[in-house]
Amino acid sequence: MKRRNFIKHSTYSATALLILPQTGLWPTRAKKLERIGLTTVIFRNQFELTKPSNQELKNELTLHEIPEYFADRFGVHNVEIWTKHFETTSKPYLKDLKRALKRNGSKLINLQSEGKFDPSDIVEENRLKAIAEIKEWIDIAAFLESESVRIRTMHISYEKAGSSLKEIAKYAQTRGIGVLVENHNDLFSETKNHLKIINDVSQTNLALLADFGNLKPDIRYDALEKIAPYTKLISAKTKDFTDQMQHISFDFEKCIRIFEKAGYKGIYSCEQWGKADLSYNYEKITDWMIERTVNNI
């Protein structure tokens, strides 16, 4: 990796974060950082595969650089990968990625899977193709020692989604992988569906992924309270910011407090997805998310 001056230009460096009093009464900052994750989605503009077509590629990132980047620049070792950022799934490529994770003391907490086909499709041929796509990501997750795979968006039929998820979860269980269903601006952004799927599929390795952003404003906080007991991983998402780094889309910190009050002990994986604003500094946004999350757990 061509090492950037991550720490020199950082607002917060990994070293500085550790120089704090050890009281023994409250979790240290270093301990709290163990509950912070970062997804490659935040830096999508820096990946050749996902940058806007009208934007010049600057400060290019690749998956093999991500573990070092997240560790050096942000002090974060919990890595979440959007599958659109895999340049290939060849064994040599995956082996190199696995080595990069281990070399930086990092772990893969989740694959945010994508595919061409919807597991809730009423057209059986398409539904089966979607299942096959997800099984391939489950195999990759197992090789990379990921904890889970998030299922892609499902828009068509709740019943077909349930049938697919049951088969997917059973397969994932044989590979030691958790399956996460996200409120992803789809069938499962309806809270009743998000809750119901747990009982309908009834597999011990199936759980919910809670995304702060993918809910209608009038139900956001109530929905998060309801799904909190079944949540295995949180996408601590922000959306739009002002020039003064004020998050204007919703109360991000309130969302964290909801889960802390519910007794959530898992990881908050920071993510940003809002309007396409070329003026955004995504490192500063990431610093903002990490700080607000650490201050509320």
CATH class for the region spanning 27-294: alpha beta
- 238 beta partners: 272
- 180 beta partners: 150, 207
User: How far is Cα 222 from Cα 209, in angstroms, rounded to an integer?
Assistant: 16
User: How far is Cα 234 from Cα 270, in angstroms, rounded to an integer?
Assistant: 8
- Shortest CA distance to 270 belongs to which of 286, 252, 246? 286
- 93 beta partners: none
Residue 93: φ, ψ to 5° = -65, -45
> What tokens were used for 217?
């404003």
For the chain, give every domain's residue range. Answer: 27-294
- Measured at the CA of 150, the angle between CA 149 and CA 154, to 5 degrees, comes to 140
What is the DSSP code (8-state) at residue 247?
B
> What tokens were used for 161?
């989604």
pLDDT in tens, the chain (297 residues): 444 444 333 433 443 444 344 445 678 999 999 999 999 999 999 999 999 988 899 999 999 999 999 999 999 999 999 999 999 999 999 999 999 999 999 999 999 999 999 999 999 999 999 999 999 999 999 999 999 999 999 999 999 999 999 999 999 999 999 999 999 999 999 999 999 999 999 999 999 999 999 999 999 999 999 999 999 999 999 999 999 999 999 999 999 999 999 999 999 999 999 987 878 999 999 999 999 999 999
What is the DSSP code (8-state) at residue 175?
T
